[in-house]
Amino acid sequence: MNGNALEAGGTGNSTPVQATRFSRSASQQWRVENAKDGNALIVSRLGKTLEISGGRSTDGARAQIYALNGDSNQRFSFRQVAGNCGLDPWARVIPDAGTITCASDDGQRVYCDADTRGGVRLVRQISGSRCDEGSTSGRDSRGIWVDAGCRAEFDVSASTSRAGSVRGAIARS
């Protein structure tokens, strides 16, 4: 709402995360992954997980990045809050950042949320394992999926979606 984004100031464990002006840098790009307990992990494009230092739940607690360990201070939950943050709930949106990374790091099928109605294009294969459309990668109504070790960047910038009210907030579990 204020034009700021979470940014990790480096790549090392315990590097602080702060709100800075949005610049589309890799250090400001995050993805939400399912944790095994139904909560969410927030993972930086740089490969580290967002966590709250010391697991505190008080205002002003230090947010930082750390290697994924799945501890409670790295797990977040989403809850519904009221209001639409001033957004038109029927506005048509074309995303600015149309590239997402989807990875089957454990060799299992993984879904990555994306609006695929406008098409998806594999931009860059990152893994040593092949990413073959229909076999180890693809798209459906749930988003983009990868399997059998495929890891790649996909362009979804041609997609358009109906923007609903912003009703989510992040809460540490």
**pLDDT tens column, 6-34:** 999 888 999 999 988 888 888 899 999 88
- Containing H/E element for 1? none
* Beta carbons of 148 and 136 less than 8 angstroms apart: yes
Fold of 4-80: Trefoil (Acidic Fibroblast Growth Factor, subunit A) (2.80.10)
Phi/psi class of residue 14: alpha, beta or left (left: φ > 0; alpha: ψ in -120 to 50)? left
| CA–CA distance, 68 with 50 (Å, rounded to integer) | 9
Residue corresponding to tokens 């070790």: 149
Q: Please report, for the chain, the start and end positions of each structural domain, with discontinuous segments joined by +.
A: 4-80, 98-156
Residue 105 has what pLDDT?
83
| CA–CA distance, 127 with 48 (Å, rounded to integer) | 18
**pLDDT tens column, 34-57:** 888 878 899 998 889 999 988 887
Q: What's the burial of 71, exposed, middle or buried (CB within 10 Å: 0-12/13-18/19+)?
A: exposed
